[in-house]
Amino acid sequence: MAKIPTVFSLRHCFVVSLALNVSLVLRMVYECDQGCKGACLKTQSSPSMAEPGSKYVMHQSRLAVSSSSPLVNSNSTQTAHLKVGERIINLDHGDPLVYEKFWRQMGDKTTIVIPGWQSMSYFSDLSSICWFLEPEFAREVVRLHNVVGNAVTEGRHIVVGTGSSQLLLAALYALSPLDAAEPINVVSAAPYYSSYPAMTDYQKSGLYKWAGEAGSFDKEGPYIELVTSPNNPDGHVRHSVVNRSQGFLVHDLAYYWPQYTPISSPANNDLTLFTVSKSTGHAGMRIGWALVKDKEVAKKMTKFIELNTIGVSKDSQLRAAKVLKAVSNTCEQEGSSPEGESFFRYSYNIMEHRWKHLRAAVERSGTFSLPTFSPALCNFFNEVLEPHPAFVWLKCEGDIEDCERFLRGHKILTRSGIQFGVGPKYVRVSMLDTDENFIQFIDRLSAIHP
């Protein structure tokens, strides 16, 4: 058999390869065009999610959003091929992507450059009880609380942690008697944050143990009560339940910010936890802080973090400081800056908008019920406002006994009330996800009827 010339073979390979690539591109364009047409048709037939003249416009579906849009997250390329009605919406966790658009609009106002020689030492401030606390971050924490008016910082020691989760464990360690015959009991009123039991028991510490629901706690002796306010999952303002002389209180105020609830007064507690993830939306920084009145408790919390992670990332603290500074600036310059409105005003408007459409969807469906909240004076906005929590505490009415399973059948992932110490007729649903996911959630909820 005659040998085919090498040049002829390569030329043909190139032509075949080019033809295949052109064919693939044409097919992708055709399928995208068909998908976008379907999404646009649905947008025209569905109720608008934007108020007339509102700048808080939310696109109808992920397929209808340009790939350059700030609303598209990293999962868009993996799910764009699915039809809108077939895509699973995961609202189980509270990933705060709702704030991404604001921070994109801020441009380089929160950009930092860290030289290679900076942040090399373990130590930040040897004069501080929390020796790995960056002074710049501490200053911005105090400034932000003073601007918002949601916590007393005077006479408090600041302890920084890798998120409020690490700080909670540090607080349990610091408040537990070291010479007790048995572990101290840790309780919280139901519905409590679903991770409290696992976080308390996963180390199998001999110092503390999960003892369940605070309302039914009747054991004598010392105890630690975790008070989350506004509460995760139901959004209500909380106070301690047990109220005995031998008790220690840890106040988790991750959601005590103006976009979620009226700021009635500065929190004045012995030990209060905050986190960047829910205040500004920067969950990936893994930065939280505690305001601690007792010096010895602050020392023990610092010791726990030292033993656990030998401090907290300086890079994260410096970035967090820049973000907190930007938030405070928008509050102090509201009305005079090019952006016009503060981060909290922007965030409040979005949360108000979402809750309005959620309540309308629940009313149209007739299958679910929602908590009700009383308006209160917000000292930050100087207005009487209604709370708009970060999570929905949704109840399935009628014969639906397992709400989480029921919604999973409609391709909506939520977290069952069982994990919060109550029954399966309740679920927690995140209100902090992307616009696309939230709109699809509203559409599907509206379409469910008894």
Which residues neighbour 343 within 8 Å (Cβ) at sequence distance 6 or greater?
A: 102, 280, 326, 327, 330, 331
- Stretch (H or E) spanning 158: strand 157-161
Q: Where in the chain are the domains?
A: 78-104+340-447, 116-332
- Within 10 Å of residue 150's Cβ, how many Cβ atoms? 23
Class of domain 78-104+340-447: alpha beta
**DSSP string for residues in 235-299:** ------SS--TTEEEEEE-TT-STTTS---S-B--SEEEEEHHHHTS-GGG--EEEEES-HHHHH
Cβ distance 187 to 223 under 8 Å?
Answer: yes
User: What is the three-class DSSP state of 49?
Assistant: coil
Spatial contact of 346 and 352, defined as CB atoms under 8 Å apart:
no
State how far the Cα of 450 lies from the Cα of 448, in Å rounded to an integer: 7
Specify the pTM. Answer: 0.82
Q: What is the pLDDT along the chain (450 residues), one digit of tens a residue?
A: 444 444 445 455 454 455 555 454 444 444 444 443 333 333 333 344 544 334 444 433 333 333 333 334 444 444 444 566 679 999 999 999 999 999 999 999 999 999 999 999 999 999 999 999 999 999 999 999 999 999 999 999 999 999 999 999 999 999 999 889 999 999 999 999 999 999 999 999 999 999 999 999 999 999 999 999 999 999 999 999 999 999 999 999 999 999 999 999 999 999 999 999 999 999 999 999 999 999 999 999 999 999 999 999 999 999 999 999 999 999 999 866 555 789 999 999 999 999 999 999 999 999 999 999 999 999 999 999 999 999 999 999 999 999 999 999 999 999 999 999 999 999 999 999 999 999 999 999 999 998
Q: Are 286 and 317 in contact (CB under 8 A)?
A: no
- Which CATH number is 116-332 given? 3.40.640.10
Cα–Cα distance, 416 to 431 (Å, whole number): 16
